[in-house]
Structure 1
Amino acid sequence: MKLPLKTSEALLITSRPNVFYFSGIDIAGGVFLLVTGNKKYIFSDTRFIKEAARIGKECVPIAIKKESDAWWRKTLAKHRVKTVYFEPHDITYAALKRWRRLSRGVARVAPSKINFRELRSVKRDDELAKIKKAIFFTEIIMGEL
């Protein structure tokens, strides 16, 4: 899925359904994505990073180090990101303050105008094939009850 991002923009994805949609990773808590114009980064602490790297579709894994914020600033600087858009319906005020503090001096943090529910509702051909297959097997199983 190609997002409408300029080269100086990135999208911070923190909600579990959207992390799963964009990466295939379904790990509760402590996992988030940064999507730039040409790369997806999966961030997690060391407990989950190996599994996230194994599962993540085309994601570059980065382990979060609590003693330093360099991991975030380095990634933004590498891609010359000047604006980080966040999911406005999935972030607390405290989390927003943290992201702004982490990004200070490197990038501006602003709400995204992308409607993620609508974006997730559009299905690719391979997704439709999987849904049809699931319906087929469900009908077989339900017919046998």
Structure 2
Amino acid sequence: MEEQEVSREIESLRSLNADVGTNIRFINRSQQSANAWWLDYSGNPVSYGDIRPNHLLNMNTYLTHPWVFRASNGAKLLANQQDVYMPAAATEYEEDGNPKFLDVFITTPVYSLQDYCLMLIRDLVCEDDYGSLNIPESLKRDLRTPPDLLKELRSINSNRR
């Protein structure tokens, strides 16, 4: 799929402007590394790297800049219990007058049993061996279709309309 086409499909979930800044502290409370993704002005995800478990990432961002988080295996993570985190304005200030960093907690959602099992099988079984598993063909197809951030963003957008 061409990049322009992707941008049109997910354009409603994108950064709008850089008018009002805020300071965010993303704190990874999940048991896995969290990939931080900022959604740019076209709606394309831009990686800001990994946050190891029990570590944090201080970020200067803007109120209209959405963020999403994924585990290294592509599984969804939540930011303050949301699929997509929209930064809030800093309302407290340090003694020197600078805004305090707002804490945003990255956590693991409750996955469906099927999603959890697919993640586990992907971790334990080589992709070339999926065909030899004694499971239904529909599950083998699901195994061969790993999580896709762009597809999930399109789904989120369609649910917002």
TM-score category of the 2 structures, normalised to the smaller one: under 0.3
- Structure with more of its chain in strand, by fraction: 2
TM-score by length of 1: 0.27
- Structure with more of its chain in helix, by fraction: 1
TM-score by length of 2: 0.25
Query: Which of 1 and 2 has higher RCO (CA within 8 Å, sep 6+)?
Result: 2
